[in-house]
Amino acid sequence: MSENLLTMITESIVGGEPESVVALTQKALESGLQPLEIINQGLVPGMNVAGEKFARGEFFLPHLLIAAKGMQAAMELLEPELGARQQVHEAVGTVVIGTVQGDIHEIGKSLVGTMLSANGFKVYDLGVDVPKEDFIARVKETGADLLGLSALLTTTMIGQREVIENLVQAGIRDQVKVVVGGAPVSQAWADEIGADAYAENAMDAVEVARRVLM
Amino acid sequence: MMQPKLKILSGKLVSQIIDEAYGLLMDPGVRVHNDDALELLAEAGANVDLESKVAHIPEAIAQRALKTAPSEFYLYNLEGEPVVHYGGDSVQFDPGSAAITILDSKTQEQRPPVTADFVKFVKLVETIPQLDAQSTAMICSDVPEEIGDLYRLYLALNFMRKPIITGAFGKETWWTMKEMLVATVGGEAELIAKPVAVFDVCPSPPLLWSDLTCQNLIDCARSGIPSELVSMPLAGATAPVTLAGAVVQHTAECMSGVVICQLTQEGAPIVWGGSPAAFDMREGTTPMGAVGTWMIDCAYTQIGKALDMPTHAYLGMSDAKIVDAQCGLESAGGTLLAALAGVNMVSGAGMMDFESCQSHEKLVIDAEIIGMAKRLIAGIEARDEPIALTLMRSMGHRADYLADPHTRKWFQEEFYIPSEIIDRGSLDGWKSKGAKTTLERASDRVDQLLKNYQPGPVSDKLAAELRRITAEAAQRFGMDQLPPLPEE
């Protein structure tokens, strides 16, 4: 019965049915399943299948994003349950992400945030047009492992360099890995400004994030 | 003469789209991050929330603005002749603007453009008859970023005769660009009477006017400089995924731009334009070569015409990184559709890798497509009365048309005759000429065309003035000496 429920949770993640995911998660809790079981044997496998289907060309971004929505909705239900049982779902890492100052482009950044979140990262998305100081403050406050900086314009790209310089000045450069992305950004640029990595797109970002934190 | 036309929306859809756009202007309204504009809107009777900076614009205000906006205007070349007609079903072409890389002619790899690249481009555009206007096609990397917009205009003005489609990246730099234009035509009144430039202004999807772009829009309206709305819904990402839904958003955004423009200055010229895309659901990119993109362009153009507005669209580009088959097929598809849709100004020639890279070689290839497109919409006419009866009866059953005076009289008008970029020789002929690829033939043609370049009418005095204006701007951002203008 419980195995059936977990399978159904996985399938509803893959099937892009966030309401079903939540309903089944609720049912699973009521049937006595532990939050961590639900996460690791129901939800996470669902996200993994979605990721594999995307890699195979069977799934597209909308499928991934709806799967992620289901994941996030279920997590909202499970966080308090974990708290109540004094259990912790170990995040793979903590990420602060945002689009640099002067730039209001957000699709790519939001996609990355969503995919990281759905793949076990704790994500603090600061939005767009984010002042350098805000990035630094949030990194300090959250003890983030990873800082993701997005820029879509050549005129705002330099903001990525500036944030890294600010991290150095704040004395915390070595406490956080910096990953950069955005249309005009490249590996060469990442190297030039001293970023730890460059991510091509949202799926790549998950791989890159896992890799730099190893 | 019947101009072949494409109508992609049913009358019913057109009405529905326009209605829904009016609806959006009220609810959720338009975000306007510019205080001047908010004030204008409030004074006109819009319900403006100053805290959230959202304007709820009643249909009546939008309708009035659409009425007072001119349905046509002309652009003039630097000799004062009207050469571009925005309005009706006139179809004209200019190169894609604001590229951040150039496809190097020798290596065919992308690199940041420098002064010499853009000067070569401007000269090339002057020699290409299929192109009706210049554009500030690339951003030069050998000057400070902060003057990237005005520097391209400075270069272009030195070498061009054709009018130019441009745009600013800042509020203050807009004024420097205006100063250059005023200096070039000899006065503010002259610039209003005979505009030589159009400024692109871009709302941000969905339904947002940033402070900078809104300010540009207002400054253009006050100065009598035509503005060109470039609304860019990304269907499925920053706009509804349905093509019709994306057009609804486009319509609302353009309506709001026309409103702000007309409230600033009633009768100011403004263009209904855009650069939408059907978001790629695998790569998360914005394909200019997608048929869905083209369809949105054609559809919103039809809406613009229904509202009696001059139109513009970004079409004729490719997402390819090299000049290959994808590059050709995407550029051709978009260009032909743009012509059939009757877009007054089609921006995009030369552009590839989405909207980021310009190429001299692609430009001359695109010129061929444009030539074909222009021939297409020139349509089929009888030419003679009767069409063929008398001629064919006199010919009887002989197949001797090649030598006939009738053929010699009409063939150059009836057929679009391409340059050697289009290979129509025999296999052996092609081999004997070096078995060249399209790209190689295009490269040859670039060199050939540049030999035909005739300098523009800019006097030494004007050139010095333009240089002074630009040098001052450059100094403000740490550049003491402008790069020299390339010699012959």
> Is residue A198 within 8 Å of A186, Cβ to Cβ?
yes
Q: Which domains does chain B have, with CATH numbers?
A: 11-60 (no CATH), 67-378 (3.20.20.480)
* Chain A residue whose CA is closest to B145: A155
Quote the CA–CA distance of B129 and B162 in Å, as a whole number. 11
> Quick one: fold of A2-84?
1.10.1240
Quote the CA–CA distance of A152 and A102 in Å, as a whole number. 10
Q: Token pair for residue A208?
A: 């890159």
Contacts of B277 in chain A (CB under 8 A): none
Candidates B80, B91, B123, B121; CA nearest to B104 is: B121
Candidates A12, A14, A11; CA nearest to A22 is: A12
3-state helix, strand, coil in chain B (%, to 5): 45, 15, 40
Contacts of A60 in chain B (CB under 8 A): 281-282
Length of chain A equals 214
At residue B488, does pLDDT exceed 60? no
B101 — pLDDT class (breaks 50, 70, 90): very high
Residue A201 has what pLDDT?
A: 86
Candidates B471, B463, B481, B484; CA nearest to B147 is: B471
ipTM of the complex: 0.86
Residue-wise pLDDT for B54-93, tens only, equals 999 999 999 999 999 999 999 999 999 999 999 999 999 9
Test B169 with A155 for CB contact under 8 angstroms.
yes
At residue A24, does pLDDT exceed 90? yes
Contacts of A108 in chain B (CB under 8 A): 284
Test A201 with B283 for CB contact under 8 angstroms.
yes
Q: What mean pLDDT do residues B363-387 have?
A: 97
**Mutate which of B282, B354, B356 to disrupt the A interface (most A C-beta within 10 Å)?**
B282
Q: Token pair for residue B112?
A: 């940041």
Contacts of B234 in chain A (CB under 8 A): 107
Residue A1 has what pLDDT?
A: 62
Residue B472 has what pLDDT?
A: 96
Q: How far is A193 from chain B (nearest CA, A)?
A: 17
Residue ranges of chain A assigned to CATH 3.40.50.280: 93-212
Nearest by CB to residue B100, choosing from A57, A111, A184, is A184
Residue B113 has what pLDDT?
A: 97
Nearest by CB to residue A202, choosing from B236, B281, B284, is B284
Residue-wise pLDDT for A81-125, tens only, equals 998 888 888 889 999 999 999 888 888 899 899 899 888 899 999
Residue A88 has what pLDDT?
A: 84
* Chain A residue whose CA is closest to B234: A107
Quote the CA–CA distance of B470 and B180 in Å, as a whole number. 8
Q: What mean pLDDT do residues A176-182 have?
A: 96
Contacts of B356 in chain A (CB under 8 A): 183-184
> Is residue A43 within 8 Å of A9, Cβ to Cβ?
yes
Test A107 with B284 for CB contact under 8 angstroms.
yes
Residue-wise pLDDT for B258-314, tens only, equals 999 999 999 999 999 999 999 999 988 999 999 999 999 999 999 999 999 999 999
Test B145 with A158 for CB contact under 8 angstroms.
yes
> Quick one: fold of A93-212?
Rossmann fold (3.40.50)
At residue A26, does pLDDT exceed 90? yes
* One-letter amino acid of B359: S
Q: What is the DSSP string of B120-185?
A: HHHHHHHH-TT---EE--B--TTS-GGGHHHHHHHHHHHH--S-EEE--SSHHHHHHHHHHHHHHH
* Chain B residue whose CA is closest to A58: B282
Quote the CA–CA distance of B185 and A159 in Å, as a whole number. 38
- Residue identified by tokens 């921006």 is B347
The verdict on A55 touching B (C-beta cutoff 8 Å) is no
Quote the CA–CA distance of B254 and B205 in Å, as a whole number. 11
Residue ranges of chain A assigned to CATH 1.10.1240.10: 2-84
The verdict on A83 touching B (C-beta cutoff 8 Å) is no
Test A60 with B282 for CB contact under 8 angstroms.
yes
Mean pLDDT of chain A: 93
Strands B54-56 and B30-32: antiparallel
> Is residue B425 within 8 Å of B433, Cβ to Cβ?
yes
Test B148 with A155 for CB contact under 8 angstroms.
yes
Cα dist. B86→B57, B197, B282, B288 in Å? 27, 12, 37, 23
The verdict on A57 touching B (C-beta cutoff 8 Å) is yes
A191 — pLDDT class (breaks 50, 70, 90): very high
Q: Give the relative orientation of helices B211-223 and B171-185 as an angle to the nearest 10 degrees.
A: 20
Torsion of CA B301, B302, B307, B312, to 10 degrees: 20
Q: What mean pLDDT do residues B99-125 have?
A: 96
At residue A72, does pLDDT exceed 80? yes
Residue-wise pLDDT for B195-239, tens only, equals 999 999 999 999 999 999 999 999 999 999 999 999 999 999 999
Counting Cβ atoms within 10 Å, is residue B48 exposed (0-12), middle (13-18) or buried (19+)? buried
Candidates B244, B187, B228; CA nearest to B86 is: B228
Alpha helices in A119-169 (DSSP H): 132-142, 154-169
Tell me: cis bond preceding B455? Omega within 30 of 0 counts.
no
Q: What mean pLDDT do residues B6-31 have?
A: 98
Q: What mean pLDDT do residues B23-47 have?
A: 98
Q: Which secondary-structure segment (H or E) carries B277? A: strand B277-278
> Is residue B335 within 8 Å of B416, Cβ to Cβ?
no
Nearest by CB to residue B284, choosing from A158, A184, A201, is A201
CA diameter of chain A: 57
How far from chain centre, in Å, is Cα B23? 29
Q: Token pair for residue A156?
A: 């705002």
Test B238 with A107 for CB contact under 8 angstroms.
yes
Query: What value, to the nearest 5°, has the Cα angle with vertex B121 and ends B119 and B123?
Result: 70
**Mutate which of A54, A59, A61 to disrupt the B interface (most B C-beta within 10 Å)?**
A61
Nearest by CB to residue A104, choosing from B148, B204, B284, is B204
> Is residue A126 within 8 Å of A163, Cβ to Cβ?
no
Q: Which DSSP letter does residue B324 get?
A: S
Q: How far is A61 from chain B (nearest CA, A)?
A: 5
Q: Give the relative orientation of helices B460-476 and B148-159 as an angle to the nearest 10 degrees.
A: 170
The verdict on A154 touching B (C-beta cutoff 8 Å) is yes
Counting Cβ atoms within 10 Å, is residue B7 exposed (0-12), middle (13-18) or buried (19+)? middle
Q: Token pair for residue B360?
A: 């001299």
Q: What mean pLDDT do residues B169-179 have?
A: 96
Residue A183 has what pLDDT?
A: 84
CB atoms within 10 A of CB B484: 8
Torsion B402-B368-B162-B154 (CA) sign = negative
Residue B224 has what pLDDT?
A: 95
* Chain B residue whose CA is closest to A105: B204
Spatial neighbors of A62 by CB under 8 A, at least 6 apart, are: B236, B281
> Is residue B215 within 8 Å of B199, Cβ to Cβ?
no
* One-letter amino acid of B175: W
Distance in angstroms between the alpha carbons of the first and the last residue of chain B:
44
Mean pLDDT of chain B: 97
| B437 phi, psi to nearest 5 deg | -80, 170
Compute the radius of gyration of chain A from its Cα atoms: 18
- Chain A residues 185-204 with CB within 8 Å of chain B: 201-202
Q: Token pair for residue A194?
A: 């001293």
Residue B71 has what pLDDT?
A: 98
The verdict on A108 touching B (C-beta cutoff 8 Å) is yes
Test A61 with B284 for CB contact under 8 angstroms.
yes
- HEC sequence for B247-275: HHHHHHHHHHHHHHHHHHCCCCCEEECEC
Residue A107 has what pLDDT?
A: 86
Test B284 with A108 for CB contact under 8 angstroms.
yes
How far from chain centre, in Å, is Cα B406? 38
User: pTM, whole model, 2 decimals?
Assistant: 0.94
Please give the interface size between A and B, counted as residue pairs whose CB atoms are below 8 Å apart: 30
**Mutate which of A53, A59, A60, A110 to disrupt the B interface (most B C-beta within 10 Å)?**
A60
Residue A154 has what pLDDT?
A: 78
Q: Which DSSP letter does residue B36 get?
A: H
